[in-house]
């Protein structure tokens, strides 16, 4: 799956989250399992979509600290940019 497809798919799971580290981790892992893919490519797609980079502090801690509104805005912007 492409980064764009992964971001689009995980977006609804992020929208449903209460944005605690634990809930974010549960939801992103559930999405990975649902798609039958490992966590790493999903985590890398989310990290790229939110930070624009390949490296960040712990993914779920970083998402929780960024906050729901900012994370969803950045994921949505990344999807738009990737689609051209």
Q: Is the pLDDT of residue 84 over 90?
A: no
The residue-averaged pLDDT of 1-15 equals: 95
Phi-psi region of 62 (alpha: psi -120 to 50; beta: other; left: phi over 0): alpha
Q: Is the pLDDT of residue 76 over 90?
A: yes
Q: Over the stretch 15-62, which tens digit does the pLDDT of each residue have?
A: 999 999 999 999 999 999 999 999 999 999 999 999 999 888 899 999
- Distance, in Å, from the CA atom of 69 to the CA atom of 30, rounded to the nearest integer, reads 21
Q: Is the pLDDT of residue 1 over 90?
A: no
SS3 call for 58: coil
């Amino acid at each position: 799956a492409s980064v764009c497809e992964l971001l689009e798919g995980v977006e609804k799971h992020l929208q449903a989250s209460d944005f605690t580290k634990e809930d974010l981790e549960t939801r992103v892992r559930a999405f990975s399992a649902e798609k039958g893919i490992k966590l790493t490519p999903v985590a890398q797609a989310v990290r790229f979509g939110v930070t624009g980079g390949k490296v960040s502090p712990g993914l779920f801690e970083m998402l929780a600290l960024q906050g729901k509104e900012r994370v969803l805005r950045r994921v949505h912007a990344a999807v738009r940019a990737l689609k051209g």
